[in-house]
Structure 1
Amino acid sequence: MLNPQWLRTFTAVAELGSFTRASERLGLTQAAVSQHVRALEDELGPLLIRRPRQLELTPAGTTFLAYCAEIEQADQRLRARLSDADATAGEVTLVTPGSVGLALYPRLLDLQQRHRGLIIRHRFAPDPEILAAVLERKYELGLVTLRPDDPRLASQRYTEEPLEMVTPAGVEVNDWSDLQALGYIDHPDGQAMATRLLSRHFPGNPGIRSLPCNGYTNQVGLILEPVARGLGFTVLPQYARKVFRRQDRINVVDCRAPVVDTLWWTWRGEWPLSARARRLIDLL
């Protein structure tokens, strides 16, 4: 690896066009500046053409100067990411379930508009992928529907999210035969959610797999489209239903025994959250 001081010396020489002025800027002797440049040229080949009162970069020198700039920018980015002084600038990485993520995303954008130096990287994923992403440090902050029991993860309660049975508008559900007539619109977590809710609403039912499946989508924002068109019913979290634009085309069935999940923030417990992530939790 090249000595970082040599890179700073070469950059100064190239920008100022003079060993003397470079030595003055860097607080080094002119001999030290010359030694640094010679050491680089021993490694990389000729970088400068030396003429009386003029220095010119070789093609290799031009390429190397660009490399020095990239290293300097990377160093600045690293220092910015390690610095925790400013909670309104830098990157926050967040992974959430799709349902609550749909509700949170506009608020995240509002936050970015207020603080233009803030960068929010947000991904939708199911619980197992969220936990893996946080454990592997791909994302700093996660939101899950079950409190993590991994000792490496810290957690904090966020809010509650009920499950809802949603049918086309004007459709009544009184017994299991009504669901059989409607058919089911499935999604990645659909059968597990439906099993939990329907077991409360229709005790002893033959199970969600006994119902005809009239459609499937893995896009949480599209689950209610076929329901609104009368193609079936579904079970999904309340936040996903609330952001659906055509509320007049759907109906939420009154379930006398609701199923309510608690949502938990989670992050690696071995080190504190960044000021940006902590502020995000506080604001949300």
Structure 2
Amino acid sequence: MSSKINNLLTNLNDQLNFIDLEIDNQSTRCEKAIEIILKTIDSLRGVLLKTKFKTDAEEIKFFKEIKPQFTSKLIYYNTIFKIEMKRPNGGSRIVKKYYNNELVKLKAFFDNELEFYKYYRSGSTYLDHKYFLRSKFDIKMSLSSYYFEADTNFSTSHDYKVAKILANDLIQLYLENNLVLIGSKDNGEKSQRKPNLKMIWTSPKVALIELVYALHTEGVFNNGAADLKDIAEYFEHIFEIDLGQYRRTFLEIRTRKADRAKFLTTLNKGLLKRMEDTDEGI
């Protein structure tokens, strides 16, 4: 079962990454992501129904660690979709107030689930047999009404709450990043000292596009929340360069028959050689 589930999760992440690269509109991106996640979760349910856990520990691991990785993505994209669809038109002050109200809602969830949140975040296990085994619920543990309507063959009393915690972490990050972006626009250019030396990109544009995609894939900006478009526009700004139709260029990069990541390979080789030369005292 583990290999099938790992493949499902890997394929899901790959598809979501592709959507993130190809679709700029946030609402459209969420719609497409939700569609893919629902199909994947349905496949996960099919795998589970054909599987009999050998031990309680295996079942606990599935519902505490594995399933929430899938359902948290559904919660995240669905929530972001609703947030963006309800986002008011208006100036930055109105939008900031709206995003801050959404952060207040997240805090309310953590406050209401503080006991379980502490249990989960601390890595505790002494109640796992009640939280993450099917049909082992304890009515005294403030269960959500959602559980009584859920498929008890595919749910426990608290696996959804784990997924909600994971999703809320990402939602909070999304909201905070948007608030930072709004604040940056309001304040104009940062007052920090700028270097006097102007840097000009002198390698081919295709090399910079390859680098931009690599950095976005690795999630090195804003804890992985930065859009591909934002990163590309940032590099265009600091280097005063027009990357043109960079998405089409990336498609051409992908069709290379030899070294598809040619520029990154060159960077890697050059850096390793420099390290080796330094080690040898050159």
The structure that is strand-richer by fraction is 1
Report 1 or 2 for greater relative contact order, CA contacts < 8 Å, sequence distance ≥ 6: 1
**Higher alpha-carbon Rg:** 1
- Do these two structures clear the TM 0.5 threshold for a shared fold by scoring above it? no
Classify the TM-score, shorter chain.
under 0.3
